[in-house]
Amino acid sequence: MTDSWQECMNHCVEVTKQAGKIVREALEKDIAVMEKSSPTDLVTETDQRVEKLIISAIREKYPTHCFIGEESVAAGAPSVLSDAPTWIIDPIDGTTNFVHRFPFVSVSIGFTVNKEVEFGIVYSCMEDKMYTARRGKGAFCNGLPIKVSGQEDITKSLVLTEMGLKKDPEHFKTVMDNIQKILNVPVHGVRCPGSAAVNMCLVACGAADAYYHQGIYCWDMAGGAALVTEAGGVIVDITGGPFDLMSRRLIVASSPRVAQRIAQELAVFPCGRDDAP
Ligand code: LIP
């Protein structure tokens, strides 16, 4: 039987390569930066151009499929996940890194059917690493299999998160307190690389043991989610319960034990849902 989602994945890899080439070329030129919701929420002409290219190249081949894209949502498109085949796109994950040429900048695409992630592609543009994962078929970086560290001991773990600049001082304090709590466990260290999708790939290939975040979006998580689970890791809600792609929060880890130990430390704050009306 032909695996029609595998055909979609093959097409996605080709489209991601084209998108990545545009991002890499843009890094060589002047970058005009615009602000979205706040002075720290940045967008560039490249984010918008790359998202348009990805959507048109996919829509041409799969006209009935649905899309959720970061820049389309910013322009007013709905962000609702249905059972239909859906492409969830972040044209540049790590826009602030892109603006500063800090080397973790990715194109991230996740594909869902019946709200389950069927495959994820993350291309780390400056590192030239193409991460791919198909449900049930493993995770790869540039064609070579990758797996999580398997670390079970939080005190031997390297943990990733992001700080962001929260407008609400209460949220900001909680983010900072959470980092302090994790450092005090203790862990080997905490890092903030600046691209959620790359963070998940770093856990997937064993370079870090966990990543947690509250306040990101489904397009930051969808591609990387497939990578982590197919590499043998776990993905759970920030409370330690089941992961929900539209919940804007997650913990990914090398083992259930590390994920649950992190959940035990973290204070939760309301960050809304992607599909909130
Ligand atoms: C960004 C993430 C980053 C996070 C930001 C933002 P963008 O995505 O990948 O890790 O800290 O809040 O969501 O906006 O560059 O696609």
Closest CA to 113 of 134, 91, 131: 134
Amino acid occupying residue 230: E
What percent of the chain is predicted at pLDDT more than 90?
89
At residue 81, φ and ψ (nearest 5 deg) are -95, 120
Condensed to tens digits (0 to 9), the pLDDT of residues 124-181 reads: 999 999 999 999 999 999 999 999 999 999 999 999 999 876 678 888 899 999 999 9
Provide the sign of the torsion angle of the four alpha carbons 102, 103, 109, 110, taken in this order.
negative
Domain 4-145 has CATH 1.10.1510.10: no
Indicate if 90 belongs to the active site: yes
Q: Mean pLDDT, to the nearest integer, of 42-55?
A: 94
Instruction: Note whether 159 and 262 are within 8 A (CB).
Output: yes
**Which residue reads 């539209």 in tokens?**
246
Indicate if 31 belongs to the active site: no
* Residues with C-beta less than 6 Å from any ligand 1 atom: 70, 90, 93-95, 162, 164, 194-196, 216, 220
- CA-closest residue to ligand 1 atom 1: 94
- CA-closest residue to ligand 1 atom 15: 94
| Residue in 47, 71, 93, 274 annotated catalytic | 93
Count the Cβ atoms, other than its own, within 10 Å of residue 269. Answer: 18
Indicate if 220 belongs to the active site: yes
pLDDT value, residue 166: 65
Instruction: Share the mean pLDDT of the chain.
Output: 95
Condensed to tens digits (0 to 9), the pLDDT of residues 26-36 reads: 999 988 889 98
Pairwise CA distance, residues 186 & 8, whole Å = 43
**Which residue reads 């602030």 in tokens?**
96
Indicate if 239 belongs to the active site: no
pLDDT value, residue 251: 98
| Residue in 22, 58, 92, 154 annotated catalytic | 92
Pocket perturbation via mutation, ligand 1, pick of 179, 216, 219, 274 by most ligand atoms within 8 A of CB: 216
Q: How confident is the model at residue 230 (pLDDT cuts 50, 70, 90)?
A: very high
Pairwise CA distance, residues 69 & 74, whole Å = 8
In CATH, the architecture of 154-265 is 3-Layer(aba) Sandwich (3.40)
Q: Which atom of ligand 1 is nearest to the CA of 42?
A: 14
List the strands of the sheet with 158-160, edge to edge.
189-191, 158-160, 210-214, 249-253, 234-236
Q: Where are the domains of the chain?
A: 4-145, 154-265
The interface predicted TM-score of the complex, written ipTM, equals 0.94
Q: Which atom of ligand 1 is nearest to the CA of 91?
A: 16
Indicate if 92 belongs to the active site: yes
